[in-house]
Structure 1
């Protein structure tokens, strides 16, 4: 830092000019430091929350169990639907009136326990 006497006006001006850029540099570095601090907060959080392989294995097995359960329920539903007796004339009527495939007509009719009216209402909605 430059030391000056009070009589030397030029020296005071130069000293003031030197301090202003130093203050600007400090402000700039403070801005960048706050951004770095924010970034460190984000990375610290991610590092703290580490997942173990046991957690993944548990989640995967739970998903697999759920899929197996749903598949068994679906098979049971299909077996139940196959037990429902339907008339060929009813299937033909639905195919002709609704212009859908025979398999879709049979399934809809079975879901409504052979009731043609309810099957047609469902297909129109």
Structure 2
């Protein structure tokens, strides 16, 4: 209300508007600088903590819309619009969830690639004996690349590599 002062009151017998505490409200006229002469409704329990305050022109506008049949048609139009709008929002959410899922999969794939590249670098850094590669490849009848990789995976330990290949 912002500094409104009431000069006149009138009671409404038909119960409109009523406060949430089910009290009929008082119609007052503002004497404030911001809203001179503007009518407003105030709950009878306003000073006791209810705090409900409504400008009369807004209440009157609502009451007219409520009793006007074209207002009902407008409500149906608004309802249809809101339903369509809600559907669009759901579609947008679904689209964004799909994009987030794709990004999450891509993130996991990138993380796996990084781990694989790191593993390959670690294997390449392992010092191995070329003679061990030849012995493993010849004795177990394997491709030299398989023998070399297995030997690197076992940190150059030829016995551990052979055991792994035999089991």
Question: What is residue 120 of structure 2 aligned with on the other side?
Answer: 78
Q: Higher RCO, 1 or 2 (CA under 8 Å, sep at least 6)?
A: 1
Partner of 1:62: 104
User: After TM superposition, which residue ranges in structure 1, 4 or more long, deviate above 3 angstroms?
Assistant: none
State the 1:105 CA deviation. 0.5
1:52 is paired with a residue of what secondary structure?
helix
Compare the two structures and name the one with the higher helix fraction. 1
Unpaired segments of 5 or more residues in structure 2?
1-90
Q: Which runs of 5+ in 1 are unaligned?
A: 1-49
TM-score (norm 1): 0.59
For residues 73-111 of structure 1, give each alpha carbon's deviation from its aligned partner in whole angstroms, at most 9, with x where no partner exists.
100010011111111110001001111111111000001
More strand by share: 2
For residues 58 and 72 of structure 1, what CA distance do their matches in structure 2 show? 21
Q: TM-score, normalised by structure 2?
A: 0.44
Aligned to 2:26: none
Aligned twin of 1:88 = 130
